[in-house]
Amino acid sequence: MNWNDACAELTTLASANAAVDVNGVEYDSRRVQRGDVFVAMRGGNADGNRYIDAALTQGAVAIITDSRDAFDRVRREHPAVGAALVQHGRRALAEISASVMGHPERRLALSAVTGTNGKTTTAFLLESMLRSAGRTCVLIGTVETHVGDEVRGSPHTTPESRDVLEIFGDGVKAGATEAVMEMSSHALDQERVWRLPVDVAIFTNLTQDHLDYHGTMENYFAAKAKLFAGVGTPPPRIAVLNADDFHFADFSEAARDSRLMTYAVSNHVAEYRVEDVQILPEETRFRWVTPGGSVPIRSPLTGRVNVYNLLAASCAALARGLTMEEIAVAAEGLKQVPGRFQVVPAGETGITVVVDYAHTDDALRNLIALARELVRDRGGRVITLFGCGGDRDRTKRSKMGRAASEGSDLVVLTSDNPRSEDPDAIITEVLTGARETSTDCIVEADRAAAISRAIHSAKRGDIVLLAGKGHEKVQILREKTVPFDDVVVAAGVLKEMACG
């Protein structure tokens, strides 16, 4: 594509024409190839303008920058190179990527999920429902990325716009007509999803998280609310909102320019709700009541939280044109999402071991409440293992300690990606909340040893919850990142126990 044509789609403060063809777009100078446009933008931790010379050495033929000094220097020292000065680097990255890649976002119907908890499961469920009805999809989320039948890793919940558009482009080539994305508050605030046209927007819930980044709950809400206003695009056609959430009214106002679909378990004013809920150890059943009638839903996913996830995904699937009958069929064939209430095979031990991503006090309460339901009839105990991440919101640590100890019979406190912080210091902060109850606590900073202690503390009929890391495959320490998988570690402990 000719640079001048590509540049015509940019919102620029100044630009310089150049007789060059551009082949691709990069924001990381290490990935630049000959013929690429390099977008140099200032970020929270680094300034991409420092790497313009490296990008030119790699073969960049055009530079987009948010620095006047950098723009002037490129024009002066490299007159044959295309150049553009922009106010917003991330917006420019989205605009030039879409232009060079031929606007794949315009060829996919995009459903986006935001919320503190439930984003991953809801996105997985919605994609599964769409696929069940014969549609080819792209899925971008925390656990993994799907391009048609291909499964890829996901380094970030919501990648940079250039990477999202590349995945969309691959999806279009694979015949995809639908895309489902998790949209994190960070991505919305940083405009990593700029100019992505969202057809259906889904709000799951809002509880405290990420205040290390947002500072206040008001800022956290404002970031998520951007999805419903449209990030450089018109508002979504349909907004699917959880009417049981405390912040429902605020999100209803934020989504006032979209058609609302409200769902709830408790709020009977909601259009889409449930009756006759049965939560069993092996499945969940309920009658889905809608303005167009009702249908029985049966799913292998269990727990009250998954009733909400199923409702959110079902409403979005209905908004995307599936029938209620197609949704009911799809629900019956749904598979467990990795790291979301994932049961580790325990052989003949009689112990249930579950790995879950719960990493907020609200998510912990929901997880423990589900576990309590499952052991109630067999007189078992709930043993909860968890930790709090380092270099993250410190104000939720004591709250998580309190939440775990209020609902559990035994709590095991350990580390969870301590990063630059001392794991023992983090645990001390968690203990201030845990000690507000009389529940017994075991403290073991070594996570592998803690998992072993938690499982060995269990008896037949008990449930052991390994919370916080879910699908993650590493433990991030101060000095290094090491391989670590709760599922693998737990399976090893259970195998040892089975061997005597």
List the binding residues for meso-2,6-diaminopimelate: 392, 416-419, 468, 472
Give the whole-angstrom CA distance, residue 320 versus residue 63.
39
- If phi > 0 it is left, if psi is from -120 to 50 it is alpha, else beta; for residue 115 that is left
Give the whole-angstrom CA distance, residue 88 versus residue 117.
30
Q: Which residues contact 275 (CB under 8 A, 6 or more apart)?
A: 286, 287, 289, 294
Give the SS3 label for residue 236: coil
CA distances from 137 to 104, 170, 243, 473 (A): 13, 11, 28, 26
Of 305, 442, 283, the residue nearest 363 (C-alpha): 305
Torsion angle (degrees, nearest 10) of CA 252, 255, 259, 260: -30
Summarize the annotated binding site for ATP as residue ranges. 115-121
Give the whole-angstrom CA distance, residue 464 versus residue 65.
52
Summarize the annotated binding site as residue ranges. 29, 115-121, 157-158, 184, 190, 192, 392, 416-419, 468, 472
Tokens 């991030």 appear where?
476
Which of the 8 DSSP states describes residue 192?
Answer: T
Pair 278, 257: CB distance under 8 Å: no
Q: How many CB atoms lie within 10 A of CB 135?
A: 18
Give the whole-angstrom CA distance, residue 355 versus residue 230.
35
Pair 43, 66: CB distance under 8 Å: no
Of 235, 31, 2, the residue nearest 96 (C-alpha): 2
CA distances from 466 to 45, 450, 454, 462, 486 (A): 32, 10, 9, 13, 7
Give the whole-angstrom CA distance, residue 487 versus residue 480.
21
Pair 168, 138: CB distance under 8 Å: yes
